[in-house]
Amino acid sequence: MATHRAYRSLGPVILVAAGVVLIIGVAIWAIAPGLTGGGSAAPTAAASNIPFPDVTRVSLADAHAAWVTGSAVFVDVRGDSFYDTAHIPGALSISETDLSERQDQLNKDDWIITYCT
């Protein structure tokens, strides 16, 4: 009976862990097309509609390496409720709507990687 109670108390922990895994999986899935390195002859319709096409995109591998070495500042631009649910460890929370007002809190000489998935 005590063993059953121990498993029941792990339920919320398992749900949170599953949520984090799901968020990471979606982020990997969203970034995966950029990991191939191979270029197609013509951009897809979605690629031609990318906002701010002059802004450099960071591959998942490069972002992970930057996180491991601490060479970049990660900024989660989602709302607070999403950040509170799960985020990259050490990431700052500055919502997209507040980014222009709070940009002075970031060092312009740092490599800043924003993410929203």
What are 28-63's pLDDT values in tens digits?
Answer: 766 655 544 444 444 455 556 777 788 888 999 999
- pTM surpassing 0.85? no
Mapping DSSP to helix (H, G, I), strand (E, B) and coil, where does residue 115 land? strand
Enumerate the domain spans of the chain.
2-35+55-115
Candidates 3.40.250, 2.30.110, 3.30.70, 1.20.950; CATH matching 2-35+55-115: 3.40.250
8 confidence band (pLDDT: 50, 70, 90): low
Q: Do 57 and 79 form a contact (C-beta atoms < 8 A)?
A: no
Query: Both tokens of residue 64?
Result: 């992970």
22 pLDDT more than 80: no
Instruction: State how far the Cα of 117 lies from the Cα of 34, in Å rounded to an integer.
Output: 15
